[in-house]
Chain A
Amino acid sequence: MIIEINGERRELDRSRVLADAIRDWGYEGQPIAVAYNDEFVPRGRYAAIQLRDGDRLEIVAPMQGG
């Protein structure tokens, strides 16, 4: 299945929940926030979201801003 992460398509070998995907991708321990199909997902709900083919994720972290 294909998931879009930050505008880039990524192949996922099997379906999994968002929490596992974030860990597998190496985001664990990073100060990140996630939007799932354009909706904000609080950290506590990562385990409840089953990723499906065609889902879109925005994964953001702090940066400099004015």
Chain B
Amino acid sequence: MTTAPFWEIGGRQVRSRLLLGTARYPSLAVLQQAIRASGAEIVTVSLRRESAEGRAGRQFWTTIKELGVQVLPNTAGCKTVKEAVTTAEMAREVFETPWLKLEVIGDDYTLQPHPFLLVEAAEELCRRGFTVFPYTTEDLVLAERLVQAGCKILMPWGSPIGSGQGLNNPYALRTLRARYPEIPLIVDAGIGKPSHAIAAMEMGYDGVLVNTAVARATDPVSMGRAFGLAVEAGRLAYLAGAMPTQEMAEPSTPVTGTPFWHSSSPEPLK
């Protein structure tokens, strides 16, 4: 469990800046242990068709409730505004939260968000009182439109969902951070390793959302913990202020008093 200070997201105070997905784990038991080990206080969940005989939904929901974490329902798989809005309403009733990770997919191969439909759905859901966490691209102008639609949080992708490629466009992510210093920004999707999470946090991102990188690790529980530590380390590093990079070396050991100083140049090759 982290001792990091509280931060506010969607009107709630939490300590951990890691948001964890709940899909693709080998079992519910491993999922539960991984969430605990990661220290994540916010987890994403979804909805699926349930047959009358099916009890998987209740079992999963009981597992999550036992953890006492805040859930962030998603609209995964939605491709139209209508589907996203109906799914959101169903999620609000089942999960008893106005929080919503809004996904409107525009391309099946990259799962890239559909920018126009995303804005349209965000407008409608903000009007209906949802706290919308839009899964978006790193596009600055799209971000502005989402903010105008009423979004108080932005979740740009690092790279395509489940790809583990990390931050494909660091320039654009830095630009978003610079242009929206006051809006909580969370890198969602594409994070494959703790080093990617650290990179996002060092840029000043408020949090990262990770799923596959933990769920599909050889040891998801240890990887959950690794991500929890990484996010905390990255945040600390951001607050601590990284040194500027330089072209040439600058000796870290003071040169004054170095034995043989200036008495020799690098020895020529023989």
A63 at the interface (CB under 8 A from B): yes
- Contact partner of B90 (CB less than 8 A), chosen from A7, A33, A64, is A33
A-B contact pairs, 22 of them (CB 8 A): A6-B50, A27-B50, A31-B61, A32-B50, A33-B47, A35-B86, A38-B82, A39-B86, A40-B93, A43-B93, A59-B49, A60-B47, A60-B50, A61-B94, A62-B47, A62-B61, A63-B46, A63-B47, A63-B48, A65-B22, A65-B47, A66-B23
How many Å from the CB of B100 to the closest CB on chain A?
A: 12
The answer to whether A64 touches B22 (Cβ under 8 A) is: yes
Asked, given contacts A35-B90, A60-B90, whether A66 binds B44 with beta carbons under 8 Å apart, the answer is yes
Q: Complex Cα distance A63/B161, Å?
A: 18
Q: Which chain B residue has the least Cβ–Cβ distance from A29?
A: B58
Whether A31 lies near B90 (C-beta < 8 A) is: no
Q: Provide the residues of chain B in CB contact with A7, threshold 8 Å.
A: 49
CB distance from B157 to the nearest CB of A (A): 12
The B interface is mostly helix, strand or loop, or mixed, namely mixed
CA distance A64 to B94 in the complex (A): 14
Contact with A along B51-85 (1 / 0, CB 8 A): 11111111011001000000001101000001000
The interface on chain A, measured as residues whose beta carbon lies within 8 A of the other chain's beta carbons, has a size of 25
Q: Are B94 and A32 in contact, CB atoms less than 8 angstroms apart?
A: yes
A30-B58, A38-B82, A40-B86 given; A63·B91 CB < 8 A: no
Known: A26-B52, A26-B53. A65 touches B89 (CB 8 A): no
The residues of B that contact A43 with a CB separation of less than 8 Å are 93
* A35 to B83 Cα, complex, angstroms: 10
- Who on chain A is nearest to B21 by CB? A66
Interface residues of A (CB under 8 A from B): 6-7, 25-27, 30-35, 38-40, 42-43, 58-66
The closest CB in chain A to the CB of B93 belongs to: A33
The 7 closest A-B pairs by CB, nearest first: A61-B57, A65-B46, A66-B21, A33-B90, A61-B50, A66-B211, A40-B89
- Does B31 count as interface, using CB distance less than 8 angstroms? yes
User: Which A residues are in CB contact (< 8 Å) with B40?
Assistant: none
Query: What interface size band does chain B fall in?
Result: 35 or more
The answer, among A6, A26, A31, A42, for a CB contact under 8 Å with B49, is A6
CA distance A59 to B48 in the complex (A): 8
- Minimum Cβ distance to chain B for residue A4 (Å): 12
Closest to B212 in A: A66
Which residues of A are found within 8 Å of B22, using beta-carbon distances? 64-66
